[in-house]
Amino acid sequence: MEAAPDARTVSRWRRLLRDVLARTALLVGALLVALLVAELATRALIPPAVDAFFTPFEHDDSPYAESVEDPETAKTLRWYLPGREGTTGSAPVHINTLGLRDEQDYAAQPPAGCFRVLVLGDSMTFGKGVAAEETWPAVLEQRLRAAHPAQCVEVLNAGMPNTNFHVQWLHFQSRWHALKPQLVLVGFFPYNDTQLEGEEEPYSLRVLEFVDRHAWLKRSALVRWAYHRTFFDLGARKVKAGIERFFAADYAGWKQFELSLAALVARAQEQAFRLAFALIPIPEGYTPYPFAAVHERLSTTLQRQFRVPVWDTVRALDGVDARAHWIHPSDGHPDPFVHRAIGEHLARAMPWAAWLASR
């Protein structure tokens, strides 16, 4: 049986424990004081751009969208509900009678002699954060009508946020083909249009997701400053690596894109409509453009492999500071200036006169 420690040993251990606790308390106290000083200093010195980054800016389509089990495609697809209203960022959304984002209603079938353009795309085409009349499809329609006043021209915006090209093809296959367009114009956004559904976005970072889940942390100026720096510095590097992977020949999303495009090309031949692509640049910088090689590969694939003409709209943005035209400090969707530049470029660059004459 072990002997109990004597009183002197117990006293020595107690003094040692008190000393450790005192030193720990002193260290924790010093750390808390340092953090408090750093927090106060950060609050005094933090740039206004950091606080602006955290002002609310959300896209919520729940008031005007529904998910439907689609027997034609054997998938659950999301559709917009005619007549519903909502917002995207700070901009109003109205869904017209065809289930498209537009203040204007169109007939289910194009009027006799009218040249109908159906635009497929994601949020960059839908126009997150801008009014319907400011989106590049709307600008394109305005410019075409002004340039060809004797010709009926319609440009229907079927853009839908959070979709890749495969889902856009499924939408067309299920419903939009019935609108009988003479031209299907795909607003292709390389950031995620070949990305598989459900995969983590390139800009996603676990540490930022943790802060987003515990929003009370953003009350701290230190946390806001660190979040802001991480978002732009580390996030930009992740975007570049992610996008390079999305266009690898063995990536499942790229293979899905090629199969979906082949199906759309076949439908174009079957229904006798034209098909064209407009590449919508990633708003990380337009001059020089960091994803020029991706655009070149896309253009080569579209034109040589699928015989689909393509227009690269980054050419309309030479010398433009991309981040100066984000719709919100935390959201890279383009503002009305960029939408207008894209729409005007497509109105000038594409062979509309020949297409209208041959309708």
Tokens of 118: 């159906």
pLDDT at 1 over 80: no
Any idea which of 6-20, 45-59, 265-279, 334-348 has the lowest mean pLDDT? Answer: 6-20
DSSP output for 219-237: GSHHHHHHHHHHHHHHHHH
Reported as a single tens digit per residue, the pLDDT across 289-330 is: 999 999 999 999 999 999 999 999 999 999 999 999 999 999
Tokens of 122: 């994601």
DSSP output for 63-86: GGEEEEEETTTTEEEEEEPTT-EE
CATH homologous superfamily of 59-201+235-357 equals SGNH hydrolase (3.40.50.1110)
C-alpha neighbours within 13 Å on the C-beta side of residue 144 = 26
Nearest-10 crossing angle of helices 165-174, 252-271: 30
Q: Quick one: average pLDDT of 230-239?
A: 75
- Please tell me the predicted confidence (pLDDT) of residue 4: 60
SS (H, E, C) 109-169: CCCCCCEEEEEEECHHHHCCCCCHHHCHHHHHHHHHHHHCCCCCEEEEECCCCCCCHHHHH
Tokens of 157: 């915006």
Q: Quick one: average pLDDT of 189-213?
A: 81
**Cβ count near 293 (within 10 Å):** 11
**pLDDT-derived band at 183, boundaries 50, 70, 90:** very high
Nearest-10 crossing angle of helices 336-349, 136-147: 40
For residues 218 and 166, the model is more confident at 166
Domain limits of the chain? 7-45, 59-201+235-357
Percent of the chain beyond pLDDT 70? 95
Q: Quick one: average pLDDT of 65-82?
A: 90
Reported as a single tens digit per residue, the pLDDT across 92-130 is: 999 999 999 999 999 999 999 999 999 999 999 999 999
pLDDT at 36 over 80: no
- Please tell me the predicted confidence (pLDDT) of residue 164: 95
